[in-house]
Structure 1
Amino acid sequence: MPRTNDDPRALRSRAAALAAATELLVEGGPENVTHAGVAKRAGIGRATVYRHWPDQQTLLIDALANDVQPLLTFDDSPVREQLVHQMVEMTHRLNQPSAVSVLATVIQRAERDDDARRIREGIFGKADEHFTRTLAAAVERGELREGAEEHGTDLIARIVGPLIFYRFLHGVRLDKDLVVSLVDGALAPWQPNA
């Protein structure tokens, strides 16, 4: 009897393979995600992996998508504390050895692949839209000067850009002191007494 997509055995083997592919991706980057490696790690047959993912591109894309975390999420707490906290969390992810190759793979493939573009959107997503609302709330509370909400993308770029530059191009391990310095520098022009 042929298995359907909702066959519990097929779902279990797919979940095990996807978990294995994600682990291999995190441990060694995109080139580490192979059918043979996934089968061995998941404890399933290579044919099973090929049945779920006929080629390495689809396997890699699903592994990348499985590891996607939004870059930033915001709430109504004070903006500076949110930014410091979230950027420190982001630096922990960026300091992982495979972060360079994973992020580079997503960005590079997003130029020509719709699935990779969706993954990039999952990472960077609606951060601008959410951040604009957070900045507007900060302006209403008097944390920031009026107009800050119109410059959310620029503020994020002034923080994330240097972090990516230092980590990926200079190989520097990122730390909280750098994050605090970048957050304070980006927010300085928008402080009420600036």
Structure 2
Amino acid sequence: MTRINDDPRARRSRAAALTAATELLVEGGPERVTHAAVAVRAGVGRATVYRHWPDQQSLLFDALANDVRPLLAFGEGPIRQQLVSQLEQMAEWLNQPVAVSVIATIVERAERDEDVRRIREEMFGHADEHFAGALAAAVERGEFRPGIEGYAREVVSRIVGPLLFQRFMLGARLDKDMVISSVDAALAPWLPNA
């Protein structure tokens, strides 16, 4: 990841190029994020893009990092509803062909590159920490039996794992019924009357 120049023009050109790189990533996957394509999309010179990102790898990493959102984020309210809502949105993105390319790039490169490993952590690694806190609050509200918060990672895996398998290994298009089925199957053992 490159350092940012303090010149306002350099910051603007960098921001425009990063926005363009992220759009190209989302539209067409990692192979679309080239210096030339970013320059055209951002309306800046190719030399400007090279000045901010001297190589293809740093440009791609910053585009990946710019589009990173945590897997799950929780507010107040019933956990099941929040999970279904967020995972429906995730399913919409996963149904796009570019999702396969982006996820595969992150998973593959995270094995040997610390910067990409941090991107993977931001996307997936902290999901169970946030989820554990939300589950503890849900236990207090009587949604689940005590102890579920200690199994947050396992519960997340049991929800998201089948969806990723269905989409990426079997090529299925994810829909609301699949999301609900996955959420309900993972939460069922922890319901108060289970």
* Distance in structure 2 (CA, Å) of the matches to 1:189 and 1:125: 24
Unpaired runs of at least 5, structure 2: none
Unpaired runs of at least 5, structure 1: none
When normalised by structure 2's length, the TM-score is 0.94
User: Displacement of 1:125 after TM fit?
Assistant: 3.9
* Distance in structure 1 (CA, Å) of the matches to 2:11 and 2:71: 29
Alignment of 1:52-67 (within 5 A): 52-67=52-67
Query: 1:144 is matched with which residue?
Result: 144
Q: Once the two structures are superposed, what CA deviation does each residue of 1:121-152 show, in whole Å capped at 9, x if it has no partner?
A: 11124221111111111112211112211111
Alignment of 1:58-137 (within 5 A): 58-137=58-137
Query: 2:189 is matched with which residue?
Result: 189
* Distance in structure 1 (CA, Å) of the matches to 2:149 and 2:54: 46
When normalised by structure 1's length, the TM-score is 0.94
Query: 2:168 is matched with which residue?
Result: 168
User: Displacement of 1:11 after TM fit?
Assistant: 1.0
* Distance in structure 2 (CA, Å) of the matches to 1:53 and 1:158: 39
Aligned Cα RMSD in Å? 1.2
Query: 2:15 is matched with which residue?
Result: 15
The secondary structure found in structure 2 opposite 1:98 is: helix
- Aligned residues with identical type, % of pairs: 70
Runs of 4+ aligned residues of structure 1 deviating over 2 Å after TM superposition are: none
Q: Say how many residue pairs are matched.
A: 191
Deviates most, 122-131 or 62-71: 122-131
* Distance in structure 2 (CA, Å) of the matches to 1:5 and 1:138: 46
